[in-house]
């Protein structure tokens, strides 16, 4: 091919001697990706006798000037007044400046993309680092909350009783129906499944022990804690996060008030009071659900059910289950408030940290419950 054309920007003819290159159109950033391969290919084929025509050049910026410098070479740019006398002076200055800036410049070597194994290890490392930072932040926030609590307790005038009661109603009283329904249904399901399995061995009477043991020790407190993690921790994060996004926290600090004392303590104390009470209600509802199933399917009357329950050392199991409720409540409230303070100021950030508060709370609750189960089993309690 003796004549080639790249759109309306670059035309060259090898039929003529010497070769003639016509620069036309707009040599700007928008056309850089189109021009760069052609300029690289053509620059290697030009000789010293090649002529250039800039009469049709319309627009030129620094990216286009860099391509022209690459096409012309430093020697031609140095004598640009001779080879392109009709080129505007400001464009000659631009080409000379770009040529001077590119002198001695070498593009950085392209990095080889990491392999799959390296990417996997990097992802694991980032996850572990993020977990460590979150753990440190949680411990620091727990210390700050306890310090604020100890400074407020001896001063009744600084107690936020109204906020505490309002949060207690929202957290505890409004959650009673869903807790009762959830634990009743789970208790009924456990009793039904237990009776189905135990009937194979002719031991359906032990369904009562299964329901009582599971709800007094594990299911009631665990279900209530998970429900509070999804219902209450997310509400704490959203409320505090929106306050931070609307710069209300800055206003609180400007007024000389402590955000931890004003926002965190009432929520933590309210959940500390509410979760044990909700756990107690969940225990009663779950056992009642199991009692209903036993009465309908196993012909175990409520009187017999309560008699078997009384003889199964239920009080010790009750203490074990209730002892975990305040710990779960404290950590759920702390995580929910902490994620609220982490919000950066956008609606997307509020959603991300609300989700994180629910996930982290449920993870901590299940982890601690597993550790507590192992501990109590080893202690024989």
pLDDT value for 7: 58
DSSP letter string, 18-51: S-EEEEEEEESGGGHHHHHHHHHHHHTT--TT-E
Residue that finishes a domain, picked among 102, 123, 151: 102
Same domain, 302 and 187: yes
Same domain, 80 and 169: no
CATH, residue 60: 3.30.750
Residue in this structure with the two tokens 């286009």, named with its chain if needed: 64
Q: Is residue 121 part of a domain?
A: no
Residue that finishes a domain, picked among 57, 87, 102: 102
Confidence of residue 17 (pLDDT cuts 50, 70, 90): low
Q: Is residue 211 part of a domain?
A: yes
pLDDT of 208-266, one tens digit each?
888 888 898 888 999 999 999 988 999 999 989 888 888 888 888 888 888 888 888 99
Encoding tokens for residue 13? 């003819």
pLDDT value for 327: 93
pLDDT value for 261: 87
- The rounded distance, in Å, linking the Cα atoms of 11 and 7 is 8
DSSP letter string, 137-174: HHHHHHHHHHHHHHHHTT-GGG--HHHHHHHHHHHTGG
Counting Cα atoms < 13 Å in the Cβ hemisphere of 31 gives: 22
Residue with the bigger pLDDT between 190 and 15: it is 190
Whether pLDDT at 356 is above 50: yes
pLDDT value for 2: 43
Same domain, 69 and 192: no
Same domain, 65 and 200: no
Encoding tokens for residue 116? 């799959």
For the CA atoms of 267, 273, 275, 281, the dihedral, rounded to the nearest 10 degrees, stands at -140
Q: What is the average pLDDT value for the chain, to the nearest integer?
A: 85
Same domain, 97 and 165: no
Q: Is residue 138 part of a domain?
A: no
Q: Is residue 148 part of a domain?
A: no
Confidence of residue 277 (pLDDT cuts 50, 70, 90): very high
Q: How much is the average pLDDT of 357-370?
A: 92
pLDDT value for 128: 92
Residue in this structure with the two tokens 């329904």, named with its chain if needed: 181
Same domain, 92 and 197: no
Q: How much is the average pLDDT of 61-81?
A: 81
Whether pLDDT at 268 is above 80: yes
- The rounded distance, in Å, linking the Cα atoms of 163 and 267 is 8
Same domain, 207 and 79: no
Chain centroid offset of residue 202 CA: 50
Confidence of residue 198 (pLDDT cuts 50, 70, 90): confident
Chain centroid offset of residue 369 CA: 24
pLDDT value for 276: 92
Same domain, 229 and 360: yes
Q: Is residue 176 part of a domain?
A: yes
Residue in this structure with the two tokens 């993690």, named with its chain if needed: 229
Residue that finishes a domain, picked among 36, 69, 102: 102
- The rounded distance, in Å, linking the Cα atoms of 68 and 77 is 9
pLDDT of 295-336, one tens digit each?
888 888 888 888 888 877 778 888 888 999 999 999 999 999
Whether pLDDT at 4 is above 60: no
Q: Is residue 259 part of a domain?
A: yes
51-60 vs 20-27, strand pairing mode: parallel
Same domain, 229 and 96: no
Q: Is residue 313 part of a domain?
A: yes
Same domain, 211 and 344: yes
- In three-state secondary structure terms, 60 is strand
Q: How much is the average pLDDT of 98-122?
A: 77
Q: How much is the average pLDDT of 181-193?
A: 92
Confidence of residue 363 (pLDDT cuts 50, 70, 90): very high
CA dist list (Å): 304 to 296, 299, 308: 13, 10, 6
Same domain, 177 and 310: yes
Number of folded domains that form the chain = 2
Q: Is residue 368 part of a domain?
A: yes
Whether pLDDT at 125 is above 80: yes
Same domain, 98 and 183: no
Count CB neighbours of 92 within 10 A: 16
CA dist list (Å): 329 to 73, 268, 342, 364: 73, 8, 20, 11
Q: Which domain holds residue 341?
A: 160-379
Confidence of residue 1 (pLDDT cuts 50, 70, 90): very low
Q: How much is the average pLDDT of 33-57?
A: 79
Whether pLDDT at 289 is above 60: yes
Give the whole-number percent of the chain exceeding pLDDT 90.
Answer: 25
């Amino acid at each position: 091919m003796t004549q080639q054309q790249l759109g309306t920007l670059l035309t060259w003819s090898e039929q003529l001697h010497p070769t003639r290159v016509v620069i036309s159109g707009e040599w700007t950033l928008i056309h850089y990706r189109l021009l760069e391969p052609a300029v690289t290919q053509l620059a290697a084929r030009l000789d010293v006798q090649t002529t250039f025509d800039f009469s049709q050049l319309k627009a030129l910026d620094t990216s286009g000037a860099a391509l022209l410098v690459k096409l012309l070479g430093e020697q031609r740019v140095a004598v640009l007044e001779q080879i392109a006398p009709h080129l505007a002076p400001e464009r000659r200055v631009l080409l000379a400046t770009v040529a001077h800036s590119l002198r001695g410049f070498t593009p950085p070597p392209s990095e080889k993309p990491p392999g799959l194994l390296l990417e996997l290890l990097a992802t694991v490392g980032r996850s572990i680092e993020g977990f460590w930072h979150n753990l440190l932040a949680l411990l620091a926030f727990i210390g700050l909350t306890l310090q604020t609590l100890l400074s407020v307790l001896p001063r009744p005038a600084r107690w936020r009783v109204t906020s505490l009661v309002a949060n207690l109603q929202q957290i505890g009283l409004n959650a009673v129906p869903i807790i009762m329904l959830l634990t009743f249904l789970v208790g009924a399901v456990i009793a039904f499944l237990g009776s189905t399995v135990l009937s194979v061995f002719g031991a359906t009477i032990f369904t009562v022990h299964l329901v009582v043991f599971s709800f007094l020790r594990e299911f009631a407190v665990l279900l209530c804690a998970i429900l509070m993690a999804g219902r209450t921790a997310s509400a704490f994060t959203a409320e505090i996060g929106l306050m931070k996004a609307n710069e209300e926290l800055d206003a609180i600090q400007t007024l000389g008030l402590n955000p931890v004392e004003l926002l965190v303590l009432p929520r933590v104390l309210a959940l500390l009071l509410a979760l044990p009470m909700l756990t107690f209600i969940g225990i009663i509802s779950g056992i009642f659900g199991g009692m209903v199933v036993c009465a309908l399917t196993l012909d175990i009357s409520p009187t017999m059910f309560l008699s078997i329950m009384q003889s199964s050392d239920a009080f010790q199991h009750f203490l074990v289950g209730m002892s975990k409720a305040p710990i779960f409540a404290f950590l759920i409230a702390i995580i929910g408030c902490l994620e609220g303070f982490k919000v950066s100021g956008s609606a997307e950030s509020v959603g991300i940290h609300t989700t994180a508060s629910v996930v982290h709370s449920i993870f901590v609750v299940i982890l601690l419950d597993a550790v507590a189960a192992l501990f109590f089993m080893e202690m024989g309690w």
